[in-house]
Amino acid sequence: MQIVSALTSDTKQRFIISLEDGGIVRFYLYYYPSQYSWYFDFQYGDYICNGNKVVLSPNTIRHLRNRLPFGIGFLSGQQAEPFSLDDFATGRVIMTILNSEDVKEMETLYEEV
């Protein structure tokens, strides 16, 4: 699992994550003040996924687990969903990138519940 640590309180952020398997994921993280919400788009190879709302989840793209070799998590020590412009800058919310093994381990945990 990688922690994405370079996030700020900028309303529009673009960055690239290098995966352990050598692939890259292009991200666009953006904040809508009128919605008090963060959203993200990403591209992995030819696959493009737009308009995803940032919600607290160990793997917010779990529904794509059979299609992509990674997962995206948003975690917080608090129970409140990301709503503030400074949620990432203050560390209240962290973004993680799961590798394929992390995703498989997460699925095992889901099956045990």
At 53-85, the pLDDT tens digits run 999 999 999 999 999 999 999 999 988 999 999
- CA distance readout (Å), 86 to 32, 48, 77, 104: 13, 27, 15, 32
- pTM of the predicted protein model: 0.92
pLDDT at site 101: 92
Per the structure, how many domains does the chain have? 1
Range of the domain at 65: 2-112
pLDDT score of 13 more than 80: yes
Residue 112's pLDDT is 74
Beta carbons of 90 and 82 less than 8 angstroms apart = no
Average pLDDT, the chain: 94
Tell me, letter by letter, the H, E, C secondary structure of 33-95: CCCCEEEEEEEECCEEEEEEECCCECCCCHHHCCCCCCEEEEECCCCCCCCCCCCCCCCCCEE
* pLDDT surpasses 70 at 113: no
Average pLDDT over residues 6-24: 95
